[in-house]
Amino acid sequence: MSQPVAGFSKLNKEEKIDWLKRHYLQNNTEAVKILKQYWNEDAKLQQLHDEFTENTISNFYLPFGIAPNFNINGKLLAIPMAIEESSVIAATSKAAKFWGSRGGFKAEVLNTKKIGQVHFIYSGEKEKLQRYFKEVKPKLFKSVKEITANMEKRGGGVLEIELRDKTASLENYYQLHCNFETKDSMGANFINSCLEKFAHVFKEEAEKCPDFTSEEQNIEILMSILSNYVPECIVRAEVSCPVEQLSEESGMTGEEFASKFKRAIRIAEIEKYRAVTHNKGIMNGIDAVVLATGNDFRAVEAGIHAYASKDGSYTSLTHASVEAGIFKFWMEIPLALGTVGGLTSLHPMVKLALEMLQKPSAKELMEIVAVAGLAQNFGAVRSLITTGIQQGHMKMHLMNILNQQEATPEEKKMITDYFKNHTVSHNSVINQLEKLRQQ
């Protein structure tokens, strides 16, 4: 059994890999070769990647693709997506083409308020705490002036600070609930810096206050941290067209398509087992763009799934209706994104992705990301109610199967041609490849 290693972070990259090879890779020199194969030849670029995180030994690549033909608010865009799932970009692109001839996508940012909290314990009288908060509140705003100066020049800053009584849920628990506007930055570091300053001043001023002299009335700061739940940082995306324009290649009339589509969405609204998979499909589109543009997809995922449960039960993020002969499909989701700061100015591919999108503001990026999620969901539900999900998915998966079998370029072409008119499954591809090789 391997022993714990001391000072691992101080080893250079070669030494880290050598330690890994000896202790966990059974001295596998091929594994070492693979790790080094993914190093950038440009040493300066590799150093940049190494410094993004801790204990770097190599780079992990994802395909970087483009979904073209997105008409968003009258502007034609090609959306960069970083994702390994083969059918996502194809489905998203197909949806973009479909809606491009039906008026395109409409998107609108409804609000951009972000949240941070100082969590603390106080066992004294509530009236004294409330009175103290009113007195100290102006000092809290003043205490962060140095931190907020640049943000305020861009129109952002601290919007509000509230004292919230949470003692009904946890004994003696209160919080400073703070609202922020961070403009084109995601704002995590800005918010956390403000919160920690609030906590320091809130505690320091309390120690001078006559109301807080006894030990049981002391304010105990537990933690200060932003929230990734941003129910007031909302973007809406939608598409609509006359029902008759929904007629499908499958032979469905527009009315039939709209009726089945609406029911499929309704099922996702009322059945959480379906809703989770339904929303996962939305996140296929969202995460791919969030990742390509250097934003935090984990924070986005957490916030959006929490929003899907905001009314007490997990439900669909998208909705559909037919009124007066008009089909409408829409979604409202929380998105805290940035186009400045973080990786956006450091990672070469992220900078390129934002350039492809015509250097959007944070609000514009929110609209683009929401549209990508809506398009992906439309494509998935459309497949489900017409041909079924596997037909398109397995055809896109065909190349992965062939690569697993180390098919030659000639074999790939012949197998791909064959499956243009046959159903793809893992076994059918293997069998056809074996027949071809026997011939």
Q: Each residue of 181-201: pLDDT tens digit?
A: 999 999 999 999 999 999 999
User: Is 268 a domain residue?
Assistant: yes
* Same domain assignment for residues 301 and 253: yes
On whether both 169 and 215 belong to a single domain, the answer is: yes
Residues 97 and 143 placed together within one structural domain of the fold: no
CATH number of residue 217's parent domain: 3.30.70.420
- Residues 68-80 have a mean pLDDT of 98
Q: Is residue 328 part of a domain?
A: yes
**CB-based contact 67:93 (threshold 8 Å):** yes
Q: Judge if 195 and 282 occupy the same domain.
A: no
Residue 2 domain-assigned (yes or no): no
pLDDT of 390 over the 70 cut:
no
What is the C-alpha to C-alpha distance for residues 378 and 329, in angstroms, rounded to an integer? Answer: 8
**Beta strands, E only, 183-286:** 220-226, 234-242
Most confident of the following: 16-25, 248-257, 261-270: 261-270
Is 182 found in the same domain as 122? yes
Distance of CA 339 to the CA centre of its chain: 14
In a shared domain, residues 273 and 380: yes
Do 357 and 258 fall within a single domain?
yes
- Total tally of structural domains belonging to the chain: 4
For the ranges 134-143, 369-378, 429-438, which has the lowest average pLDDT? 429-438
348 belongs to a structural domain? yes
Task: Provide the pLDDT for residue 395.
Answer: 59
**242/286 same-domain check:** yes
Q: pTM (2 decimals)?
A: 0.88
The residue segments making up the domain with residue 354 are 64-110+234-387
Please indicate, yes or no, whether residues 97 and 245 belong to a single structural domain of this protein: yes
**pLDDT(293) > 80:** yes
Q: What is the pLDDT of residue 13?
A: 94
Torsion of CA 305, 333, 83, 64, to 10 degrees: -150
The answer to whether position 145 is within a domain reads yes
380 and 272 in a single domain? The answer is yes
The CA distances from residue 143 to 104, 109, 360, in Å, are 47, 31, 32
Pairing state between β 157-165 and 173-181:
antiparallel
Would you say residue 305 has pLDDT above 90?
A: yes
162, 205: one domain: yes
List CB contacts of 408: < 8 A, sequence separation 6 or more.
Answer: none
pLDDT in tens, 163-183: 999 999 999 999 999 999 999
Any domain includes 354: yes
Same domain flag for 382 and 397: no
Whether 389 has a pLDDT exceeding 70, the answer reads no
Please state, as a whole number, how many other Cβ atoms lie within 10 Å of the Cβ of residue 437. Answer: 11
Helix boundaries (H) for 308-421: 348-356, 362-385, 389-404, 409-418
Find, among 78, 104, 74, the residue nearest to 357 by Cα.
78
Percent of residues, the chain, with pLDDT higher than 70? 96
Res 422 pLDDT > 80: no
Token code pair at residue 187:
């704002």
- Pick from 229, 336, 353, 288: nearest CA to 92: 288
Structural domain contains residue 1: no
Tell me which H or E stretch contains 105. Answer: none
Q: With a cut of 90, say whether residue 283 has pLDDT above it.
A: yes
- For the record, the structure tokens of 371 come out as 């549209």
Tell me the backbone φ, ψ of residue 183, rounded to 5 degrees: 50, -125
- Rounded CA gap, 230 and 175, in Å? 17
